[in-house]
């Protein structure tokens, strides 16, 4: 996958959808630098392989995504 803003946005939106995140507004693609592309891609690959997640798995993934956001 090419490293660009469109693909970053697509991956984050797919992660949100797959996890069925209730507060999706808390995870906004524009909050992530392209420097984190490979990290987000790694999470995206893992999330897309699994059909469902436990609450603790979802919490861990969302927490990890949160730690990747650009500090503003």
Q: Determine what percent of the chain is predicted with pLDDT higher than 90.
A: 79
pLDDT > 70: what percent of the chain?
A: 97
Q: Are 48 and 14 in contact (CB under 8 A)?
A: yes
Q: Quote the DSSP letter at residue 70.
A: P
Yes or no: say if 47 and 15 are a contact pair by the CB < 8 Å rule.
Answer: yes
Residue 72 pLDDT exceeds 60: no
Domain boundaries, the chain: 5-21+30-68
Collapsing DSSP states into helix, strand and coil, what is residue 36? helix
16/46 Cα distance (integer angstroms): 13
Look-up of token digits 């990290």: 39
* Average pLDDT over every residue of 29-44: 96
| pLDDT at residue 27 in the model | 87
Model confidence at 63: pLDDT above 80: yes
State the average pLDDT over residues 17-30: 85
């Amino acid at each position: 996958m090419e490293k660009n803003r469109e693909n970053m946005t697509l991956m984050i939106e797919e992660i949100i959808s797959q996890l069925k995140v209730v507060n999706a507004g808390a995870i906004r693609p524009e909050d992530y630098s392209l420097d984190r592309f490979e990290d987000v891609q790694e999470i995206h690959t893992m999330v897309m392989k699994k059909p469902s997640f436990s609450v603790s798995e979802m919490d861990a993934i969302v927490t990890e995504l949160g730690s990747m956001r650009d500090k503003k």
